[in-house]
Amino acid sequence: MTTTAISESATRAQVAEAIRGRQRFVIASHVRPDGDAIGSQLAMACALRALGKDVRVVNRDRAPEPLLPFPGVADIEIAERVDDPGDAVIVMESGALARTGVEGLERGFVINIDHHLGNTMYGALNWFDLSAAACGEMVFDLIQELGVPLTPEIATHVYVAILTDTGSFHYSSISPRTFEICRQCMEAGVDPPAVARAIYDSGNLGKLRILGAVLNGMELDESGRLATLWIDRTLAAACGGTYDDTEGLNNLPLTVKEIQATVFFKEQAPGDWRVSLRSKGDVDVNAVATQYGGGGHKNASGCSASGDLQGLKHEFAVKVLEQIEIAGSRQ
């Protein structure tokens, strides 16, 4: 066993100990929560309730539409402030406390559970595991440490976390442990085809039209290795959809063999853009996102950027192509 593994399991044991000794919990995650955020929060909430704890799950933004049918999602509190942080605040998937977008959490005993590069270690307890393909993997281990049986509901939340945060098992973050956890989740009652249908095949016509419009506006760089996409609210509304309907869209160009990375710009306000980056293999888009104060993982990261779209497209293209070159030179 490596030193990292020893300290990692020691930290997990400390987190379990802190949980056992406390009664009232707030579980938070990041703004615009994704499948890993929601799955990790709800798996943890179920486990804590099984131990007789009082739990509130709080996010600043509501869950993406495809996750709404999953148990417990509709009960997540949407708030910008928490007045009572309980005995402990468990923050999932957030590199910095500010990324929760929820005020008041800092007044509690914060347990920081995350698998992202660059976590700022803002908690009273910080459990950080870069080797986890999803925060859901860490939650799975913690639930085992707490001795809570893997119910079908907990297993489903863990599986949703892993399925979505690995881009449906595409990213290089997956490991044998990922499949071992999924195996146990399936044995506990998860129905992978049903979960996949709920998440990926339950869209609406607006989503399909957005897909067509955004892909129609796709630009390829001269070398054909980088695809750039964009959307603004006018285009989304004209298609009869919303930004929720763009989930997963930036993975599609990567189905083309030659395309190594995608940059997807979503306008938030005039001149304000959310930027979602995706890549294959060794191409490190996180190295680009962090230059803009964002973060994430090597193959999937995000940030915000301001400016005119043409200028930003060029700026990001230069930086991402640089990463494609670096990855190419390593082969």
CB of 75 to ligand 5GP, least distance (A): 23
Tokens of 272: 């304000």
214 touches 228 (CB < 8 A): no
- Beta partners for residue 275, in sequence order: 265, 303
CA distance 132 to 138: 7
Minimum distance from residue 30 beta carbon to ligand 5GP (Å)? 6
Tell me which amino acid residue 80 is.
E
Please, which residue, 110 or 148, has the CB nearer to ligand 5GP? 110
Q: Given the rule CB under 6 A, which residues bind ligand 5GP?
A: 30, 34, 95, 99, 276, 294-297, 300-303
Q: Which residue, 85 or 294, has its beta carbon nearer to ligand 5GP?
A: 294
Q: At 304, which helix (H) or strand (E)?
A: strand 300-306
* β-bridge pairing 300-306 and 295-296: antiparallel
Rounded least distance, CB 276 to ligand 5GP, Å: 3
- Nearer to ligand 5GP by Cβ, of 30 and 225: the residue is 30
Residues forming beta bridges with residue 128, ordered by sequence position? 114
Is residue 108 within 8 A of residue 88, CB to CB? The reply is yes
Q: Which is nearer to ligand 5GP, 95 or 241 (CB)?
A: 95
Of 203 and 302, CB closest to ligand 5GP: 302
Min dist. Cβ of residue 66 to ligand 5GP (A): 14
Q: What is the nearest approach in angstroms of ligand 5GP to the Cβ of residue 147?
A: 29
Any idea how long the chain is? 331
- The nearer residue to ligand 5GP, 56 or 115, going by C-beta atoms, is 115
Strand order in the sheet with 88-92: 77-78, 54-59, 24-28, 88-92, 110-114, 125-128
Shortest spacing between CB 62 and ligand 5GP, in angstroms: 15
